[in-house]
């Protein structure tokens, strides 16, 4: 099991193993680091170029946090508008819900 610690933004990060760690621990850490890099590259590859520019030097965790900060307010507003529009709809009198 790799040692973890909470960082400043509250997410769990894997700590680098000490130099005297077992081969299994070092290999697990290397795999985790490689997977994190792969995810970051895939995220960047699927983004619009204007988003890529601002996120290119971030880890996958940091990209997710930044994207959430950028789009969460917009998504909340859209959900509110959609729910308001749906609640404003009325069924015609005498019809049944199917």
Averages of pLDDT over runs of 10 residues in the chain (98 residues) are 48 78 92 89 93 89 89 85 84 75
Residue 48 lies in a domain: yes
CA distance 32 to 51: 25
CA distance 40 to 53: 13
- The reported pLDDT for the residue numbered 45 is 94
Count of structural domains, the chain? 1
Residue 95 lies in a domain: no
- The reported pLDDT for the residue numbered 47 is 92
CA distance 11 to 3: 14
Residue 93 lies in a domain: no
Residue 94 lies in a domain: no
Residue 96 lies in a domain: no
Domain containing 73 equals 4-88
Residue 12 lies in a domain: yes
Residue 74 lies in a domain: yes
Burial of residue 63 (CB within 10 Å: 0-12, 13-18, 19+) is: buried
pTM value > 0.75: no
CA distance 96 to 89: 14
């Amino acid at each position: 099991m790799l040692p973890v610690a909470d960082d400043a933004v509250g997410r769990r990060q894997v700590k680098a193993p000490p130099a005297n760690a077992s081969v299994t621990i070092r290999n697990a850490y290397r795999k985790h680091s490689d997977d994190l890099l792969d995810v970051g590259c895939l995220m960047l590859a699927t983004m619009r170029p204007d988003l890529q520019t601002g996120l290119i030097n971030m880890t996958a965790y940091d990209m997710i946090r930044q994207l959430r900060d950028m789009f969460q307010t917009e998504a909340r507003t859209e959900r509110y508008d959609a729910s308001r529009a749906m609640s404003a709809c009325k069924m015609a009198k005498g019809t049944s819900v199917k």
